[in-house]
A and B are shown apart, each in its own frame.
Chain A
Amino acid sequence: MLSDLAWLPAAAPDFRERVRALRAEAAAPGEQYFERAVALATAALDENQLGQLARVARDVAPAAPAAFSKVRLGLIGDGTLSLLAPVISGSGVRHGLLIDVVEGAYGSGVQQAMDPTSPLHGAGLDMLLIASDARSLGLHRAADSLEDADARVEAALAQLKLVVQGFKPAVAAAILVQTVAPPLEPLFGSFDRVEQTSAFAMVEALNRRIGEWAAEGQIVVVDIARLALSIGLERWDAPRHWHASKLSFAPEMAPIYGDVVARTVAALRGRAKKCLVLDLDNTLWGGVIGDDGVAGIALGQGSAAGEAFLAIQHTALELRRRGVVLAVCSKNEEAAALLPFREHPEMVLKEDHIAVFQANWTDKAANLRAIAETLNIGIDALVFLDDNPAEREQVRRELPLVGVPELPEEPALYPRMLMAAGYFEAVAFTQDDRDRAGMYQANAARAAAVNASGDLDSYLASLDMVCTIAPVDSVSRPRVAQLINKSNQFNLTTRRYTEAQVEAAESDPRRHISQARLVDKFGDNGIICVMVADRQGEAWEIDTWLMSCRVLGRRVQEACLDHLARAARADGAQRLIGRYIPSPKNAMVRDHYAKLGFTLLSEEASGETLWTLDLAAYASPELPMLVDDKAVAGAALELQQ
């Protein structure tokens, strides 16, 4: 299932012709090029087909439609890497990425890291992937003693850390470190896990250390060890290919390897999916509610089918707990569709777990569009789970950017298929993620409230909003970095910074970085705004200003501007300078500065605009919220010192 990418439909029969067509128009991409490329890539392709797509990615890069995210990925590691580059790049197209893989020289990762003249240092890398193998790290043969085993694990880790340290200045966004697949062949047998000198135990120890290292936020882990175990080491590891070509794993595993790397890069670029849309009949329960009634559907303990449907509901609920929004899209009468949620005693999913409930007879593509619109997220943030192949096909054809996993006939395998696809890949997990699904729920309640109250001002006043603006610290940093890397729509400059860069900005005397949180009577929205400004003599230039779309229309931007104005004034500045850099997704803030009373300074052909606000003439607005500004006091303190 995993190794043959079974959640993806089979490759188009005319794949070869279609990939050539895309290549032929790469210099001048036509209509819907992005959608066509993603659709072609969204299939269970083999390593050769992925290689052909990699060529498309390379050829189209100079003239690429803006919907693609470009990533220059350095690749260093043990063994032969040349087989990996094309599958990573080809799989990237599936995730809307144009990954330009720059291969390091064979072996010698440490030397390349230490040598600032090595080609990788000057390559302008966004990310770097370190692909290790137990056989090159000296962990594939048993150690002589416990001390020797410890020393070897430490040496392997130290070598990886040297490489990361050496490359850090040369990599803009993130360094990805692979875990290492353990050796299949036991030395003692089960006792390998007990005996710490065994190769198996040493590899396990290294992988544990890599996990701890990633938890510190310095690297991003790509868990190849877990992947290898999931597939089965017997199929993963191919000694004949190691001996013949120094391939770290069986070449037929290249497609799943490429997808796992690409989905991690996609998650770093904020392209992971955000919402799981569920069909109902024969997806969440067995049978058809409209025909079988609450008593007749298969759901719950006591039957194999009933337990299988319980399992997929539990999977959905677990996803919701980690912040994935749930929605329903079903061809049903709404009253019938709601019955199990309200009346079936074994339903795990309840009505209030579902942010948007679309049960009607309209086609599913239209309903999915409506769901994305209601939640204010892109159509490409949706995954659609449906047992009916015809519905899946219709959605794939009309909405190629929606993730639509194939499902096997056996419902017991639904959870595995959904989760193996890796749609919701994460590189961090914060309290805000935990709360996110609930926040969307609260948003739905707010939408209902505004309808009830009728006029916006009284509605806003009724929300009892408190906006707390504060400097960034170690607690807020992960969420701030996440927002910086994921916010696309309300983002004036779309500049991405890593957690380490955020930390550096906090103590940089030329930079002002602050974050805002919004609480209202429906709940805590968490950190919803990040501002970075640079002190430039008598002006402050706003380097970054982004907000979460979930608080649009709440006048939070005015509270934030007021904060920036007061912080800049306290610093002695006369003017605020704002910049808008257009991206494929941020058209909604094109007039942001104009609306806030800035004056246009200049406009470039690219649509980039520069704005100024005279602080002497700026007056604080009346806002329908309490603003607790902890970040300006800090700025004032700095002045006094």
Chain B
Amino acid sequence: MSQESILGELREIMIDVFDVDDLEITRATTAEDVEEWDSLSHVRLVVAVERKFGFKFKNSEIEGLKTVGDLADVIAAKTA
């Protein structure tokens, strides 16, 4: 799966998870940039990503995530 299509899917997921009308994300986007992205919505984000891409994260992988790019890289590796 290309980085571009992963980012596209992530954007769709985030709009639902954060319940926002629209959202622009790049690989550099972090939780700081999105008001609705807090520790609880982060749990829902993780679950929604798992559901969409069909794998489970380890806690250690989640803890290492800093940016949307980090998340996309884990997804790319897990779905390769």
Contacts and interface: CB of A to CB of B under 8 A. Distances in A.
A241 B19 CA distance: 22
Contact of A241 (B15, B21, B43, B51): B43
B43 to A, nearest CB: 5
A232 B40 CA distance: 25
Interface string A69-111: 0000000000010110000000000000000000000000000
B44 A83 contact: yes
A83 B16 contact: no
Q: Is the contact region of chain B dominated by helix, strand, or loop, or is it mixed?
A: helix
Given A52-B16, A240-B59, A244-B59, A47 B40 contact: no
Contacts of A245: 39-40, 43
A46 B59 contact: no
B17 interface: yes
A520 to B, nearest CB: 56
A83 B40 contact: yes
B62 interface: yes
Contacts of A48: 16-17, 19, 44, 48
Interface in A579-635: none
B22 to A, nearest CB: 11
Interface residues of A, number: 20
B19 A47 contact: no
Nearest to A247: B43
A51 B46 CA distance: 16
Nearest to A16: B16
A51 B38 CA distance: 15
Q: How large is the interface on B (under 10, 10 to 19, 20 to 34, 35 or more residues)?
A: 10 to 19
A252 interface: yes
Given A48-B17, A48-B19, A51-B19, A83 B48 contact: no
Nearest to B47: A251
Nearest to A19: B19
B67 to A, nearest CB: 19
Given A46-B48, A240-B58, A52 B43 contact: no
Interface in B38-70: 39-40, 43-44, 46-48, 50-51, 58-59, 62
Given A52-B16, A55-B19, A243-B59, A252 B47 contact: yes
Contacts of B46: 251
A332 interface: no
Contact of B43 (A49, A51, A83, A243): A83
Contacts of A55: 19
Contacts, number: 41
A408 to B, nearest CB: 22
Interface string A38-52: 000000001111011
Interface string A2-20: 0000000000000010001
Given A52-B16, A52-B19, A47 B59 contact: no
A263 B19 CA distance: 25
Interface in A19-53: 20, 46-49, 51-52
A67 B69 CA distance: 47
Contacts of A241: 43
A52 B17 CA distance: 9
Interface string B8-22: 000000011101010
Contacts of A247: 43
A142 B19 CA distance: 43
A225 to B, nearest CB: 23
Instruction: Find the residue from A82, A83, A244, A252 having the highest chain B CB count within 10 A.
Output: A244
A243 B63 CA distance: 12
Nearest to A243: B59
Nearest to B62: A244
Interface string A233-257: 0000000110111010001100000
Nearest to A239: B59
A259 to B, nearest CB: 17
A51 B16 CA distance: 9
Interface string A522-537: 0000000000000000
A83 B62 CA distance: 18
A243 B46 CA distance: 15
Interface in A400-424: none
A49 B62 contact: no
A510 B65 CA distance: 66
Contacts of B19: 48, 51-52, 55
Nearest to B46: A251
Contact of A82 (B40, B50, B51, B59): B40
Contacts of B16: 16, 48-49, 52
Contacts of A16: 15-16
Contacts of B62: 244
A43 to B, nearest CB: 14
B57 to A, nearest CB: 8
A50 to B, nearest CB: 10
A37 to B, nearest CB: 17
A46 B47 CA distance: 10
B44 A47 contact: yes
Interface of A: 16, 20, 46-49, 51-52, 55, 80, 82-83, 240-241, 243-245, 247, 251-252
5 contacts: A20-B21, A83-B40, A247-B43, A252-B47, A252-B51
- Report, nearest first, the 9 A-B pairs whose CB atoms are least far apart: A48-B16, A251-B47, A240-B59, A82-B40, A48-B17, A244-B59, A52-B19, A245-B43, A252-B47
Given A47-B44, A240-B58, A252-B47, 20 more contacts: A20-B21, A47-B47, A48-B16, A48-B19, A48-B44, A49-B16, A52-B19, A80-B40, A82-B40, A83-B43, A83-B44, A240-B59, A243-B59, A244-B62, A245-B39, A245-B40, A245-B43, A247-B43, A251-B44, A251-B47
